[in-house]
């Protein structure tokens, strides 16, 4: 039986592998310590903790974007890029 901690770690490793160890937003290379979970669909909007609903980002990106959903964050990142 796995503990919750182990399950989290397991999920993180799988997501990191899927994203080639990079932040979903800034593409920075991540380590286990500076990576955080992001929900694609916010939990407040019925999103789950399943792998399909999670991506990994670095801490600064995670903090930057606050409570916006991943889709909103991607959109604002994109607009930031074409604005500059
Ligand atoms: Zn980042």
5 Cα–ligand 1 center, Å: 23
Cα dihedral 55/56/61/67 (nearest 10): 40
57 Cα–ligand 1 center, Å: 5
Query: In the chain, how many domains are there?
Result: 1
Say how many CA atoms lie within 13 Å of 13 toward its Cβ. Answer: 6
38 Cα–ligand 1 center, Å: 11
Whether the CB-CB separation of 23 and 30 falls below 8 Å is answered with yes
What's residue 64's pLDDT? 75
What's residue 84's pLDDT? 56
- pTM (predicted TM-score): 0.75
pLDDT in tens, 24-79: 989 999 999 999 998 888 888 899 999 999 999 999 888 876 666 777 777 777 77
Q: CATH number of the domain at 23, please.
A: 1.10.30
What's residue 31's pLDDT? 94
What's residue 70's pLDDT? 73
34 Cα–ligand 1 center, Å: 10
Take residue 47 and report the two structure tokens written for it: 């999103």
Domain interval for residue 17: 4-83
1 Cα–ligand 1 center, Å: 33
């Amino acid at each position: 039986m796995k503990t919750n901690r182990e399950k989290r770690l397991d999920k993180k490793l799988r997501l990191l592998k899927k994203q080639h160890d990079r932040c979903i937003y800034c593409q920075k290379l991540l380590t286990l310590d500076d990576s955080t979970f992001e929900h694609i669909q916010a939990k407040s909007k019925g999103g789950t903790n399943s792998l399909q609903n999670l991506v990994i980002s670095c801490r600064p990106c995670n903090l930057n974007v606050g409570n916006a959903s991943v889709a909103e964050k991607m959109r604002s990142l994109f607009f930031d890029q074409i604005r500059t």
